[in-house]
Chain A
């Protein structure tokens, strides 16, 4: 079972929508012989590409779920994590980035670096993922890999270096010049599977020499030996160049640029060679876990298959074979029949079936060593959970989960739909930590919330298709919050002493704004003026008050409540009495603490032809946006702004009509900010009207 970790690659493929990610993945699987026929994403045969396993994705031609697929290329094992392309699914992208060691960043040779690529690149930088760029669609009209390479430098600040140059472009694309070997590479046969290597065409020689020089200049920074040979004008062995490129790539200081056309079957095999040569193996990357026995102290995982198991469940899927849990092992070996512990819940589980996944097929295996990605059957867990062998209590660092910013009400149309809906919701919330659901007790409606309109739309569609749960959908609501802006004292006595057993409790202290975190409770009671057993009742009372603010009924966050005085009654004080007193105390303090309404603010990037720059900025300005800046890229301008989410509903329609459909935008949650006075007044008025009607 021992496998050479040096020959394992866990890679992701990330890209802007429509740069051909799914097609590329499909071709990779074809050339590595995991699939036996090529289907197009929007092909005529109606089968669709293999990686998009969900029907919905097939219909829309986009990839939502990140399925993991195993293949092998020239004695290297490659696990491909197909990452989603839309920012609304950022958590999926980020979770995928967590488990992979390297990535291929696909760019369209016509569209170049678009706003989406900027977001994905930022995420990759955050998770320190070494990457190779692949400029796809070189067969398209207007293809210009040179311009895209320059954009990688300008827009993404990558030290992008071309390892190839195209032979012909657009419909004349024939192949590539490999600048490392200085040979021309052609892809023959109907499916490009016959590689023909020849001398570089004479008319391209001068350019190839110049590009080669550029390449050598860049890579010589990463190898002293190579630099020496260059200075002495000696022959430089190919292997030394590969080694230098690899070193630069792993240090995130160099981004090799490859190119081709997946659709026309050109360049894919060479890209796979580059994955093997330049992207990291599991031991090249440092991964840290949190030691749960030592207050979450960070500890490096060993990558050693002999050590006790540490694995992360990064993806759940409800397939036709039951629940499937994708895991990445960081150290140790997982084997059939092993007992493993979920370190979040402490629950033990026995490993039953263990499989390697290809998008829709699977292969049974007996075990998997460190650094591998496999799937388990019949394990109950949520995604993000860690599994260890008994005796080890580590958790792969808890992933940052952003709070949902948008919510909407859903109502099942009939009884059957009701049952199916709850099944579906149960599944979705386990799969996706940014998707939340609860029942509003006042309206008795089920509310779902998430990271954007499209995010919720996709789940509603999935509910209908996969679970046959037809639901009526309400209008989307922005997730407002309330918070306080100044310190305020409270001193409240709850007294009820008419007939029966009485209630008595007095709570005094103060509320103050909390910069980071949602809520803190500080107990500064001395001399037992509130007995020990009732302190937690006060805490509970405050927490109950947080659920609903008095301004617009939104949840309250960012409050520290300190109690420093109080009194009790020997007979009439109780848990309930102190909870009620604390609720009263909170309300009293809250009113004096200058409460305000907070709204989610999104980071928005709008990209369009420069002639529309004025119109784009005008449209953002009208929507209470703060424009951070603008930059120009040829004839395109990008405007970056911070926009209140509440103002962004229907923006895509506005933008389309303003720019004749030539501009597009992306949106990502940035922060919560205080709502301006005038808007706050309207919100409060609407809330009060609604209360009157109820």
Chain B
């Protein structure tokens, strides 16, 4: 369909990650490094593989979330030749749905209720859930286990984002920083974003398909689109 450049430079495709259902992934970084942009890339990768994505935004508006997609797509379309840009834009719109929650209102039962509204009427059957803005500082293990069970029962994959703090030096034995250092075993994939001196972002893979990745496999990403840098 002419989307090859997008596929080839998508970090997940390059890493061959995020292919299995029922897996949970985690993107960690300090504030402002591009967690949301990377989540959008993860969503786009799933959409290009024909999957349906629910993007859960906690504490953000629909409009703002949608503009993340619009902006990244626009940059991609400016930099890469795509034969039918409108088809790509329509395809993304049809395979993605945004759900916003207030900070305090996100939990398993609310999520399940809203997902069921979609699934039972066959309006939208998601394969992948993106959760942006989940507060790991306040959540405990059982909250996440609850959500993980729900995902398994609905046969969905999920990606979360989490903010790490410079001053908090706690880290799990596998290298996952706080606030997720005690629940890192719940995630099958964990990646870390770090700023580079040459204005790119480095993506470190800490864990893939449940296995710890030795020696820190990493790559450089474009800070605006979170696509793999060429050359």
Chain A residues near B (Cβ < 8 Å): 154-155, 157, 613-614, 617-618, 621, 626-632, 640, 642, 673-674
Contact = CB atoms under 8 A, between A and B. Distances in A.
Contacts of B118: 617
B99 A614 contact: no
Contact of A630 (B94, B105, B114, B120): B114
Contacts of A631: 61-62, 99-101
B93 A628 contact: yes
Given A617-B118, A630-B114, A640-B62, 9 more contacts: A614-B117, A627-B124, A628-B62, A628-B66, A628-B93, A629-B62, A630-B98, A631-B100, A631-B101
Contacts of B16: none
Given A613-B117, A632-B101, A621 B94 contact: no
A192 B160 CA distance: 55
Contacts of A642: 93
B153 interface: no
10 contacts: A613-B114, A614-B121, A618-B123, A626-B94, A628-B93, A629-B97, A629-B100, A630-B114, A631-B99, A632-B100
Contacts of B86: 674
Given A155-B61, A613-B114, A629-B66, A621 B93 contact: no
A640 B98 CA distance: 9
A617 B97 CA distance: 12
Nearest to A614: B117
B141 interface: no
A619 to B, nearest CB: 10
Contacts of A628: 62, 66, 93, 97-98
Contacts of A613: 114, 117
A122 to B, nearest CB: 8
B111 to A, nearest CB: 11
Nearest to B124: A627
B120 A629 contact: no
B102 interface: yes
Nearest to B62: A629
Contacts of A640: 62
Nearest to A613: B117
Nearest to B93: A626
A628 to B, nearest CB: 6
Contacts of B229: none
A154 B101 CA distance: 11
B209 interface: no
Contacts of B66: 628-629
A627 to B, nearest CB: 6
Interface in B123-139: 123-124
Contacts of B120: 614
Contacts of A155: 61
Contact of A618 (B65, B94, B121): B121
A632 B98 CA distance: 12
A626 B124 CA distance: 10
Interface string B85-127: 0100010011001111110010000100010011011011000
A674 to B, nearest CB: 8
A630 B110 CA distance: 13
Given A629-B62, A640-B62, A154 B98 contact: no
Contacts, number: 57
Q: Which of A154, A155, A627, A642 has the most CB of B within 10 A?
A: A627
A159 to B, nearest CB: 15
B102 A617 contact: no
Contacts of A618: 121, 123
Contacts of A621: 121, 123
B59 to A, nearest CB: 9
A618 B66 CA distance: 21
Interface string B145-179: 00000000000000000000000000000000000
B114 A627 contact: no
B121 A617 contact: yes
B121 A629 contact: no
A621 B120 CA distance: 13
A618 B99 CA distance: 16
A154 B100 CA distance: 11
Contact of A629 (B99, B102, B117, B123): B99
A124 to B, nearest CB: 15
Interface string B62-83: 1011100000000000000000
B61 A157 contact: yes
Query: Nearest 7 pairs between A and B by C-beta?
Result: A629-B98, A629-B62, A614-B117, A631-B100, A621-B123, A618-B121, A626-B93
Nearest to B61: A157
Contacts of B55: 629
Nearest to A673: B90
B120 to A, nearest CB: 7
A533 to B, nearest CB: 40
Contacts of B62: 628-631, 640
Contacts of B61: 154-155, 157, 631
Given A626-B93, A642-B93, A617 B123 contact: yes
Interface in B18-61: 55, 61
Contacts of B99: 629-631
Q: Which of B55, B93, B97, B101 has the most CB of A within 10 A?
A: B97
Given A617-B121, A617-B123, A629 B65 contact: yes
A17 B32 CA distance: 40
A590 to B, nearest CB: 20
A527 to B, nearest CB: 34
Contacts of A617: 117-118, 121, 123
Contacts of A627: 97, 123-124
Nearest to B94: A626
B71 to A, nearest CB: 15
A250 to B, nearest CB: 24
A157 B145 CA distance: 32
Contacts of B90: 673
Contacts of B114: 613, 630, 632
A612 to B, nearest CB: 10
B54 to A, nearest CB: 9
Nearest to A122: B63
Contacts of B121: 614, 617-618, 621
A626 B64 CA distance: 18
Nearest to A630: B99
A573 B114 CA distance: 70
B201 to A, nearest CB: 27
Contacts of A614: 117, 120-121
A618 B120 CA distance: 10
A355 B160 CA distance: 63
Contacts of B93: 626, 628, 642
A157 B62 CA distance: 12
A673 B61 CA distance: 25
A284 to B, nearest CB: 28
A314 B183 CA distance: 62
B58 to A, nearest CB: 11
A628 B94 CA distance: 8
A628 B70 CA distance: 12
A647 to B, nearest CB: 15
A673 B123 CA distance: 21
Contacts of A629: 55, 62, 65-66, 97-100
B118 to A, nearest CB: 7
Contacts of B97: 627-630
A630 B56 CA distance: 10
B123 A632 contact: no
A155 B100 CA distance: 11
A157 B60 CA distance: 9
Q: Which of A614, A621, A629 has the most CB of B within 10 A?
A: A629
A157 B100 CA distance: 14
Contacts of B101: 631-632
B91 to A, nearest CB: 11
A154 B104 CA distance: 13
A613 B94 CA distance: 19
Q: Which of A614, A631, A642, A673 has the most CB of B within 10 A?
A: A631
